[in-house]
Amino acid sequence: MGQFVGIKPNEVKIDKSIFEFVDKATIKLPITARIKRDGEIITTSIETAKQFKEGDFVKIELGYNKQYYSEFEGFIARINFTQPLEVECEGYSYQLRKKTLLKTFVNAQLKDILKFIIEGTDIKLDADIPIFKIEKMVLAKHNGVEALEMIKKISAGTIRMYFTGKILYAGLLYLPPKKTVKYLIGWNVIKDNNLKLREAKNQEVTVNMIGEKKDGSKVKVITSSGKAGTRGETKVIKTHAVTDEATLKAMAAAKQKQLSFNGYEGKITAFGSPYCEPGYKCELGDNKYKERGGNYIVESTSVTYGMSGYRRTVGIGAKL
């Protein structure tokens, strides 16, 4: 953190999610400390808060038996002068807050807009960002974070954006999982009482996406219907920013899938190892309640380190 390495904190908390592009970490440190340089401890105490400043780079590694996982990369966003000292950190979205953007996009692809937003930062775009056409988007002195929020609003919440380190993904669904983590309830899972069954078998979800042009005409009503049952709900979503038929169909399908999946959802609490982050496939086993087993997408993780140990709370989402 900053100019120092090998810092041992009092506590750490790290939050990540496929629904949030802002990764967050909080580090608690003693208000005074001693510096170790070239293997020798300098006996004079220093004020910890004066050693760091906003914008300093932060990398958090946690693990067992000298085997560490890189849990977080980002920057100091705020220093709270509490006891112990509290350092709030933000992932690579922090760099976007420092940008002022001024440009109008017309009939533009999502990937081209994102390239403009991240220009001049350390952020890279994921290679699998899909085709998504936006009719018009005006950036009038917005910062980069505000621009990403605008894209989420334009897509009626169907676009998901999240970071893996400095790699930014944006798309209608999460990426197909590239890595897998295995959890067995009663073995490497400490708590499972937040898992709840979600059933769509009695619910048919219909999504109508309506793209409205400036002259008031409607491109088309795009409908995506579930096939689970006869009773259900209809979602009507209107947008002025998207009028491309193919894009509207993709948005409708994504929204319908979000609303109508079967399976368990909620959270499990496990040890820090094995490593897991949002976007992983979770192979969940349960010898007592077999129906809870299966493959799920990991939607979120909350990592804590401190006197209570090293723990990872994993948010379980749609069944794969």
The DSSP symbol for 251 reads H
Model confidence at 216: pLDDT above 80: no
pLDDT at 224: 64
Model confidence at 228: pLDDT above 70: no
pLDDT at 37: 67
pLDDT at 226: 59
pLDDT at 201: 53
**CA–CA separation, 17 vs 12, rounded Å?**
17
Per-residue pLDDT, averaged over 278-282, amounts to 94
Q: Residues near 308 by Cβ (< 8 Å), separated by ≥ 6?
A: none
**CA–CA separation, 37 vs 130, rounded Å?**
49
Provide the CA 238 distance to its chain's centre, in angstroms.
Answer: 26
Per-residue pLDDT, averaged over 163-168, amounts to 94
What is the chain's length?
Answer: 320
Determine what percent of the chain is predicted with pLDDT higher than 90: 52
pLDDT at 213: 80
**CA–CA separation, 320 vs 317, rounded Å?**
9
**CA–CA separation, 92 vs 151, rounded Å?**
18
**CA–CA separation, 37 vs 35, rounded Å?**
6
178-206 pLDDT per residue, tens = 899 999 998 999 998 888 877 655 457 78
88-110 pLDDT per residue, tens = 999 999 999 999 999 999 999 99
Mean pLDDT of the chain: 87
Q: Provide φ and ψ at 144, rounded to 5°.
A: -65, -35
Q: Between 84 and 33, whose confidence is greater?
A: 84
317 confidence band (pLDDT: 50, 70, 90): confident
Model confidence at 158: pLDDT above 90: no
pLDDT at 127: 92
Model confidence at 268: pLDDT above 70: yes
**CA–CA separation, 94 vs 267, rounded Å?**
27
**CA–CA separation, 12 vs 80, rounded Å?**
14
pLDDT at 258: 74
Which of 146-155, 223-232, 274-283 bottoms out in mean pLDDT, i.e. has the lowest?
223-232
Which of 120-124, 173-177, 280-284 bottoms out in mean pLDDT, i.e. has the lowest?
173-177
Which of 8-17, 130-139, 200-209 bottoms out in mean pLDDT, i.e. has the lowest?
200-209
Sign of CA dihedral 33, 47, 26, 168: negative
| Residue bearing tokens 């170790």 | 36
Per-residue pLDDT, averaged over 236-250, amounts to 84
pLDDT at 13: 98
Task: Find, among 169, 86, 82, the residue nearest to 132 by Cα.
Answer: 169
Which of 3-7, 243-247, 264-268 bottoms out in mean pLDDT, i.e. has the lowest?
3-7
SS3 209: strand
- Number of separate helices (H) and strands (E) present in the chain: 4, 24
